[in-house]
Every structure is written in C-alpha cells, then in structure tokens.
Structure 1
Amino acid sequence: MRGISAFGAGAALWLCAATAGMTAPSLTVLCGVDEAWCAVMQKAYEAKTGLEIAMTRRSTGDILNQIRAEKAAPTVDVWWGGTGDTHLQAGSENLLEPYQPAHERDMLPWAQNFFAMSGGRSAGIYAGALGFAYNADLLRAAKLPAPTCWKDLTDIAYRGRIQSGNPNSSGTAFTTLATLVQLFGEEEAFRYLAALNRNIERYTSSGSAPVKAAARGEVLIGISFMHDAVTQKEAGSPLVIVAPCEGTGYEIGAVSIVKGARHVEEAKRFVDFALSPEGQATGAAAGQNQVPSNAMAGLPLAAPDISLIKMVDYDFATFGSPEERSRLLERFDAVVSATN
C-alpha cells in the first residue's frame, strides 16, 4: 500500500523527498478508515487528478490530537474518515475550515443534518451501526453460550475473551462509550463498563482491530462497527455478527478540511471527490461495507441494513463537544484503572 505508513515513517520519507529535491505531495491526508480503503482511495484520486498525495492511516483520536498539536502550523490538509463526533469536536475547537461541497445537495438526510450540525465544517461520507461479533468456531469449541446483548458480555464465561478499542485513540470505542451512556444512563453505563473490563483481554488503539482479531481466532469476541465485521466475514472468517438486543449506536464517518491547510484549493477538490458517487464507490472496491452518504452512490451488497437495527437517537452534538468527551474519557480511565 504505497504512501500509507505510520506517521513517523511517513514524515521521515516526506522530509527525505524534500531534501533530495523531489516533488513534494500536492495534498496531505490523514485517513481514519481501514487501511485497504485508504490505499484504494489514494490510488483512485491520483488516477483521476494526475497528482501525487500523501495518505497516512491513523486512529481517529490520534488524528484529533495531531491536528490540535499542529494548530499553529498544520502539516495536514484533509482529515478523511473516522467518527463524526470527533470531527464535530475539532470543529468546535476552530480546527476545521468551513466548505460547501459540490455534492452536498445529493447527500442523504442524515448526512445533510450532520453537515448543518457541524456549521459546514464537516461532511458525512458514510454511516455504520455499532455491534460485536464472535468467532463461531471458538464458541463451539469452548461450549459457551452465544451472546446476543450488551449485558451478555459481562458474563464470567467470557473472562479474557473480549477485545474492544480504547476510546482515547479509537473513534469506534468512543462511540461505544457514548452509546452505552445513552442506552443505560451514565451511572449504570459505568457500572457496566467496570464489569465488562474484567472480561477484556486487551484494549486496542484501532477500532476495527477487535473484530479482525476475532476473525483470526485470537480472541472470541470483538466489539466494533458491524460493517468491519461484515468485511471479515465476507473474506471467509467464521464470525457471527450481533446487533445487541438493547439497541445500539451508530457513526457518521466524515471528511473535513484542516484550518490553515497549505493546499486548501486541492483539499476542496478532494472533499468533492470523496462525496461523489465515484469517490464513495472506492469503499466497496476496497471491500468495505459502510452505507454511503450520497444518494446516487451504490450500496455495497453486504452492507448491514441499518433500517432493521434497533438504534439509539445518537446525540452527536452532546458527545461531539470537547467538554463531554474529555469528562467521559477521564471517567473511563478511572474505571479501567480501578478494576485492573
């Protein structure tokens, strides 16, 4: 996957290119979706424009932290992908540039609402429901009951058999945290998280890592967005995907232009491409199964039908605010520390 690397390696390569007199990238993008989609999107945009771009994959929380740290002198032009509440937080901190994209009129209603909520600073590019998946082969071998609800995951039978993302770095995991608060109320949600923590084998920095580990048979259960689990199942893994019985939350993945971007006109063209049917088709081409935001874009055949899933009325405005996010993360860290 040319051009995709850990941030430190990407920065070093860029510096070497500059000092050697090579052509610098015309656009720098931080990518918050799966690595495969990052690669396909980069190739498609470069083929369409004839330009070379630098694309680096990072977890959503890490992207927000980098953009904050570089506020005075941004090195990034576009933030593409990752959970929308984190984009909203960046917008509320004046870290993003307002832009009216060319395809905004073609967006589905949930994406138009998200764009309005962001004050025109972030546009929704896909939606996906939260859930979990278990490895059917491991479940059968261990003779364990199949979980169907969030609260099933606290059963002692799953001690050390579950992976989840860390909400400090993973947008998926922060969506999980916010979903549980909205489903159960904050006090019950944190009692639940303390009980669940006893069964967690590992907290991952990436939100899709838990279901990938379950697909490989390294862990029984992975908490993640359902479309990430579908991608693994389509590749042949023995995953059973669960929409929790109590209900669940969802994400709106977004794209934003970083305030102070050095290549702002090219950044606008990238956003327009990301919202076009052609740009959104790169998700299915990369084996991804999110629901695209453009009404003219084709729906991936294996995409979960989110209209059939019991969903919370996810409060993006509240959980996208810096104060609420920081407060919940601090409380989460205290719970995990206290129960370890």
Structure 2
Amino acid sequence: MSSHRRGGLFRSLIAGTAIAAVAGIAAAQADSITVYTSYEEDELAAFLERMEEDLPDLEVNVLRLSTGDLHARILAEAGNPQHDVIWGWAVTSMVDPRIQDMLEPYEPANIDRVPERFRDPDGRWFAVTGYMGAFCVNNMVLEDKGLPMPSSWEDLLDPVYEGEIVMPNPASSGTGYLQIASLLQMKGEEEGWEFLRALDKNMAQYIKSGSRPCNVASQGEYAIGASYALRAIKNINEGYPITMVIPSEGAGNELEAHGLMASSDNKDAAKRFLDWTLSDAAVDEYYNWKEIVTVSGGSIPQNFLDAGLPEDIGSVMYDMDFAWSAENRDRILEQWQSEFESE
C-alpha cells in the first residue's frame, strides 16, 4: 500500500490485499470513506486533488481496479461490502441486478445538471463521464513498414496488419468489453463473432489494461493499439507520433457512474462526496480529462479538438444498448475466453 499527504489530508491508493484494514479505519471515522473506482490513475489523482480543495476535512481511501476486476471484487464482497461509494465505474457493470441490489437511491445536489437518460430511474446511480473507443496508430511504424492508415474496424482485417495490432482483454478491461460489445451490436452476433475470429488472426496480443494498447503503440512496439480516445489525445499531447482514428463504423462507448452503497456506515460523508461530484469544480476537472461529459457547464478543450476529437461527439458515437451489454456480459466473456484466451 502506498500513501501520502497532500493539503493535510491522508489518502491511500489501496492494493487489494490492504482493503480490509483501510475499511476498518473508514468505519471508525465519520468523515472518512472508502471508494471503489475504475478511473485511470492520472485522472483519478487530478479529481482527488481538486476535491481536497473543496472538502479538506474528508478523508477518501481509494481502491482502483480495472472495470472487470472491480466487478468481480464487488460481487465477491457482496456479503460484507468494504466500501461506501462506487465512483466512475462502467454503467454496463453498474446495471447488473446483483450490483443494483447493493445500492441505495440518492439524488445528490445539482442532480438536474445530469440529463435523465444518464441516470437510473430509481436514483441508484448517475453517470457524469464516459469514454469511447479509438485506435492509436503509430505514424512512424506505418511509414517504416509501408502500412496504410486504417479508418475502420473492417480495415484491420487486412493481412498486412498481421502481428501489428493489440487490444484490451474484455474480461478485465471495460474498454475491451465495450469494443467487443459494440462490434456484436453493430454486426449482429453471428457476423460479429465471425469478424472477431478474423480479427484475431492479425492480433499480436490482448492486454489487460484499456490504456496500455495505446501506450505500447505510441512507443512503437506495434502499429495499432485499439484503446480509447482520451488516452490517444493525451499521448498525442505528450508528443508521441500517433494518429487517433475513430472507426468509421462508430465508436463503441461506455458511461461512468457513481452510486451510494446501502451498506455504508458513513452515509453522511459519502453523500457529501457524491454532492461534490456534481459541483462546478468537479465538472471543470471532468472536461480536462474526459472525452464524454454528461454534466452541463463546460466545454471541450482545444487540445482535444486539435488531436482529432470532433466537437459533436455524438456524431461519431455508436448508439450503445447498455442493458444488452450488461445482460449478456457473462455469456459473451465466456465465449470470448473460450475462443481467444485458450490459444
């Protein structure tokens, strides 16, 4: 477990094995909460730093896991939940009935800033941010190997890309699952699975993280990393020689939601935290980090637009059926693992 002080507030980024001890501390302090999240580490740190400015007396202990790993963790702890709040977690996972049964309805201050379509009708969760799939394509690798610039998922079936593509493992990565689920929804399941089998022939590896495929492509290890738009934007801004490609079929996407655990012993503090997530300060920070923000009150940064993100995000987003993605998740992952992880 690593820990540090910033602004007088103790905060922990908790390893999975250390959560019980930290949760015990949280239970003993009225202004201390434990939060589970799948926000990426860099954006998580920025959000927490901004929060400390507004809520300096609130201690927030954080467990950060990838979407799939967090899903497994919460279900494993269902008989004795160890956290107070779910923060920035995939709606596709949040709408799992087993998860929803653990949540207590709560409408935080400023909930009207979030359109109704991004909220649970019963008030158990609300989604403020999101992410969408994109390819990180290394311009130098393409030039060195004489490869064409892809513009679509269909382009990735070209044999010239054999061994040059990496993408996230959908069993552990929310980005990976949204990519698989969007392809199955776009093409229908029969054609979608045939497409994935054909794509697998060009795949170098499946990586646990949603951001790492972009990172390894950015570093020139592979030509193409199927990742998400925000990671591509950040890497472009850091000077990596990549192009962000939003697939012409439409970008699979996921929303990130917050919710209050019914089992929490620190609900007043947890509600203060959830109220803050819809504050002006929080919304300003979301726009600095996220390609999709559902909350009114901000604008897309110019450097996002310069990296290739369209001003009208909706024009490139595939219209995801999140309920379908949730209902079929276990079945899809079981088939995916049986076909592609056993190799």
Shared fold per TM-score greater than 0.5: yes
Q: TM-score, normalised by structure 1?
A: 0.87
> 1:4 deviation in Å?
5.3
Q: Which amino acid aligns with 2:42?
A: A
Question: 1:318 corresponds to which residue?
Answer: 324
- 264-273 or 82-91, larger mean C-alpha shift: 82-91
Aligned partners of 2:103 and 2:218: how far apart in 1?
36
* 2:30 equivalent to 1:30: no
1:232 to 214, 235, 251: 235
> 1:284 deviation in Å?
4.6
Aligned partners of 1:297 and 1:180: how far apart in 2?
31
Question: 2:262 corresponds to which residue?
Answer: 259
Question: 2:74 corresponds to which residue?
Answer: 67
State the SS of the aligned residue for 1:30. strand
Q: Which amino acid aligns with 2:16?
A: G
Aligned partners of 2:286 and 2:72: how far apart in 1?
26
State the SS of the aligned residue for 2:227. strand
Whether the 8 Å contact between 2:156 and 2:199 is mirrored in structure 1 is: yes
Question: 1:104 corresponds to which residue?
Answer: 111
State the SS of the aligned residue for 1:99. coil
Could you say if the C-alpha distance between residues 276 and 300 of structure 1 is closer, same or farther in structure 2, counting changes exceeding 3 Å?
A: farther
State the SS of the aligned residue for 2:302. coil
Q: Deviations over 1:273-295 (max 9, x none)?
A: 1122211222355xx23232221
Question: 1:328 corresponds to which residue?
Answer: 332
Aligned partners of 2:242 and 2:208: how far apart in 1?
21
Aligned partners of 2:44 and 2:246: how far apart in 1?
27
Question: 1:42 corresponds to which residue?
Answer: 48
Aligned partners of 1:106 and 1:216: how far apart in 2?
39
> 1:175 deviation in Å?
0.7
Aligned partners of 1:269 and 1:320: how far apart in 2?
29
Q: Which amino acid aligns with 1:97?
A: E
> 1:31 deviation in Å?
2.1
- 310-319 or 143-152, larger mean C-alpha shift: 310-319
> 1:163 deviation in Å?
1.5
Q: Deviations over 1:73-100 (max 9, x none)?
A: 1111112113221111256651222211
Question: 2:131 corresponds to which residue?
Answer: 128
Whether the 8 Å contact between 1:103 and 1:272 is mirrored in structure 2 is: yes
Q: TM-score, normalised by structure 2?
A: 0.87
Q: Deviations over 1:31-50 (max 9, x none)?
A: 21110111122222233222
Aligned partners of 1:116 and 1:9: how far apart in 2?
32
> 1:302 deviation in Å?
3.5
Matches within 5 A, 1:278-317: 278-285=281-288, 288-303=289-304, 304=309, 305-307=311-313, 309-317=315-323
Question: 2:165 corresponds to which residue?
Answer: 162
Whether the 8 Å contact between 2:12 and 2:60 is mirrored in structure 1 is: no
Flag structure 1 segments of 5+ consecutive residues without an equivalent: none
Q: Which amino acid aligns with 2:215?
A: K
* 2:160 equivalent to 1:176: no
Q: Which amino acid aligns with 2:334?
A: E
State the SS of the aligned residue for 1:302. helix
Matches within 5 A, 1:209-248: 209-248=212-251
Q: Which amino acid aligns with 1:193?
A: L
Aligned partners of 2:272 and 2:218: how far apart in 1?
37
> 1:315 deviation in Å?
0.7
Whether the 8 Å contact between 1:38 and 1:55 is mirrored in structure 2 is: no
State the SS of the aligned residue for 1:116. coil
> 1:186 deviation in Å?
0.5
Q: Which amino acid aligns with 1:94?
A: D
Question: 1:114 corresponds to which residue?
Answer: 118
State the SS of the aligned residue for 1:299. coil
Flag structure 2 segments of 5+ consecutive residues without an equivalent: 5-10
Aligned partners of 1:274 and 1:290: how far apart in 2?
17
Aligned partners of 1:279 and 1:93: how far apart in 2?
25
Whether the 8 Å contact between 1:278 and 1:297 is mirrored in structure 2 is: no
CA RMSD of aligned residues (A): 2.4
Runs of 4+ off more than 6 Å: 22-25
- 61-70 or 299-308, larger mean C-alpha shift: 299-308
Q: Deviations over 1:187-233 (max 9, x none)?
A: 11111111222222222222122112212222221112212211111
Give the number of aligned pairs.
327
> 1:184 deviation in Å?
0.8
Whether the 8 Å contact between 2:90 and 2:257 is mirrored in structure 1 is: yes
Could you say if the C-alpha distance between residues 168 and 43 of structure 1 is closer, same or farther in structure 2, counting changes exceeding 3 Å?
A: same
Q: Deviations over 1:98-146 (max 9, x none)?
A: 2112122112x3xx213135x3211111133322121111111111111
State the SS of the aligned residue for 2:167. strand
